[in-house]
Chain A
Amino acid sequence: MAAVEPIGGAPVTPSRRRRGRRAPVRSWRPRDQAIFVLSWIAGTGLCLCAAALVIFFIVQGAHYLRPALLVTRPSPAVNQALSGGILDPIEGTLLLGVIGLLIAAPLGVITAIWVVEYGRPRWLSRIVESAVEVIAGTPDIVLAIFGLALFELGVFAPFSFAEPGGAFGRSFLNAGIIVSAVAIPSIYTATRNGLLATPRQLREASYALGKTRVATIRRVVMPAVRRDVATGATLGLGRIYGDTAIVVLLLGATLRNQPENNVPLIGLLRGTGSTLTSFIYDSSPAGDGNAPNKAYAAAAVLLLMVLLLNWGVGRIGRIGGPPIHEERRLGA
């Protein structure tokens, strides 16, 4: 039973945190010492790796990245000075992210709601859970070749354009549909965990006011997991930005974004294009372009975008105070 807190009393001023004496590491058992040292090595080693990565690309970026590159379209040229900028790959990355997220976010969220809030029949919800795991575990190159086989079927000609014996199969729309699969698992998992962490009492409170289950989910449960959804979506977006295989196989990885016809947006969606990842691949010594300077510049931009997203995930977690499940744990 908690003691009653004294009322009044001297105001407590914050002071420097004092630590009591602790047993020195030297007095620990050898095995504990070894684990202690190993964890320090592992931790600092990871920090060094991350720092090396970021510093390398900051240096390369500062070296090769010019503002003009960001607003110039790439051109086919052997001479790096004439091969243009990376405007199209940047646009392609952003567009693919939007398409992928527009498909993945509703699917992931709705699936999570169904599994957690309804989940009947049990066997079906277990199958759904396994299905998400299968998608999460499938290598993106496998997803890509499956997507290509699918979208080359004649019925999908409107998604790209018709070819003798079927469809071309490569377009922003097709790549966006398949790339959404790499974002769904993180959105699903974040939403599901948020739903599971939302206290049952919150739902009961709503039912006890005479609300239906749908009203409860819409008005009470969803606001409680909004942040989890945002976190999952941001993580999923990072996965889409980083994907290469699907872009190469399903977007065509053309140098420029080439609308299929002159209809605004629709033409773009049905046309081929590139993203930063495919551009980096093509420009690197391994690709056809052989423009490593451009590859470094594009890699610096891509890394910056992903780091911004990660920073965004951390920010989302702090909007408007701790999430409801944490607040409850603290016994607000």
Chain B
Amino acid sequence: MSIGKLDFEAELMAIAPERINPPVRHERAVATTVERLRVEAVSVFYGDKAAVKDVSLSIHQGEVLALIGPSGCGKTTLLRTLNRLTELTPSASHSGRILLDGEDTHELVDTELRRRVSMVFQQPNPFPMSIFDNVGFALREQSRKRPHRRQLEPQVDRALQRAGLYEEVHADLDRSALRLSGGQQQRLCIARAIAQQPEILLMDEPCSALDPRSTAVIEDLIVQLRQDLAIVIVTHNLQQARRIADRVAFMYLGDLVELGETEQVFTDPREERTREYVAGAFG
């Protein structure tokens, strides 16, 4: 693992030396304090086993919140609870409340919630259809016949532009999305996720299947996107968390151990377990 990490950093160094050492802090968006999502004492269980234990935190407009922690610490489960994707797992149950703009997410219809809290996954997962239809799919009404392409075009173009993919694909939007490279596919998935202008964007290790070059592109994208929405990102890559996150939450065995400003968590963690993890002592 460590050798791989070195390779990764070396390659990134070659492409974008300023991104490595010292880690350049991106300009903070705005220090807005508008709270979009509030997690109140949430626990998630698979059967009898608690995957997330009594976690409370809030997510603000315009920020990137990174969830870090060793494998199996519950960060992905927490992320999937935010848009109720955990409900797809029959054995999963939960307690506590999650509020989106003050509304309990369990009071919202699931499809409505997921339009407002969208998600990008670890593996790029474009649909087996054209690039245009992939983005257009999100914009269409439930299962309805496709609206005229001309109606959707401006929104699709804009989503592709925001995802930084437009220049590369606009010549042939009817090409199958499966023919794109991994990095392009992931940006297409981001375009798809932001097409209907969600308030929150959840990202589950969006770069872990990508090469360093694509990773750098997507990291830049994340930093730009946060202007308009709040982003929660799960990552295994501590350097990545340090590069792009405004705040970092460290989870361990289902507990939220520490939550704070990125610099503080990395340079002066309050908890011993955080200190050991960010120093690479375990994980």
Is the interface on chain A under 10, 10 to 19, 20 to 34, or 35 or more residues?
20 to 34
Q: Does any Cβ of B come within 8 Å of A321's Cβ?
A: yes
Min CB distance A220 to B, Å, is 5
Pick from B30-38, B43-51, B119-127, B162-170 the stretch touching chain A.
B119-127
Chain A residues with Cβ below 8 Å from B85 are 204, 207-208
Contact with A along B76-93 (1 / 0, CB 8 A): 000000010100100000
Given A204-B88, A321-B176, verify A209-B115 contact (CB < 8 Å): yes
Residue in chain A with minimal CB distance to B211: A4
> In terms of DSSP, what is the predominant structure of the interface of chain B?
helix
CB-CB nearest in chain B for A324: B128
CA distance A224 to B177 in the complex (A): 13
Residue of B at shortest CB range from A205? B125
Tell me if A262 counts as interface (CB < 8 A to partner B).
no
Residues of B within 8 Å of A209, CB to CB, are 114-115, 118, 137-138, 192-193, 196
Asked whether A4 lies within 8 Å of B143 as measured between CB atoms, the reply is no
A218 touching B127 in the complex, CB below 8 Å, given contacts A321-B178, A327-B178? no
Contact of A207 among B5, B88, B127, B196 (CB under 8 A): B88
Q: Which residues from chain B contact A204 at a C-beta distance below 8 Å?
A: 85, 88, 121, 125
Q: How far does the alpha carbon of A210 sit from the alpha carbon of B202 in the complex, in Å? A: 13
Q: Tell me whether A208 and B128 are in contact (CB under 8 A).
A: no
CB distance from B98 to the nearest CB of A (A): 16
Q: Is the CB of B176 within 8 A of A4?
A: no
In the assembled complex, A126 has its CB within 8 A of some CB on chain B: no
On chain A, the residues within 8 Å of B83 by CB distance are: 208
**Distance of B42 from chain A, by nearest CB (Å):** 19
CB neighbours of A214 from chain B (8 A): 142-143
Binary contact track A198-210/B, C-beta < 8 Å → 1, others 0: 0101101111111
- Distance between Cα atoms of A209 and B193 in the complex (Å): 7
Would you call A332 an interface residue if the criterion is a C-beta within 8 Å of the partner chain's C-beta atoms? yes
Assembly CA distance A207 to B112 (angstroms): 11
Any A CB within 8 A of the CB of B237: no
B171 near A: Cβ within 8 Å?
no
- Distance between Cα atoms of A327 and B182 in the complex (Å): 12
Q: Which residues of A sit under 8 angstroms from B121, Cβ to Cβ?
A: 201, 204-205, 208
Nearest B residue to A5, CB-CB: B211
Contact B127 A332 (CB under 8 A): no
B95 interfacial contact with A, CB 8 Å: no
- Return the CB mask of B116-147 against A: 1 if under 8 Å, else 0: 10110101010111000000011010110000
| A324 in complex: contacting residue of B11, B140, B178, CB < 8 Å | B178
Instruction: Give the distance to chain A from B118, nearest Cβ to Cβ, in Å.
Output: 6
Decide if B113 is an interface residue (CB 8 Å cutoff). yes
* Least CB distance, B6 to chain A, in whole angstroms: 9
Contact present for A1 and B113 (CB under 8 Å): no
Give A contacts to B, CB under 8 Å: 1-4, 199, 201-202, 204-212, 214-215, 218-220, 223-224, 320-321, 324, 327, 331-332
Extra contacts besides A205-B127, A205-B192 (9): CB < 8 Å: A201-B121, A201-B123, A202-B125, A202-B127, A207-B85, A210-B114, A211-B137, A215-B143, A327-B178
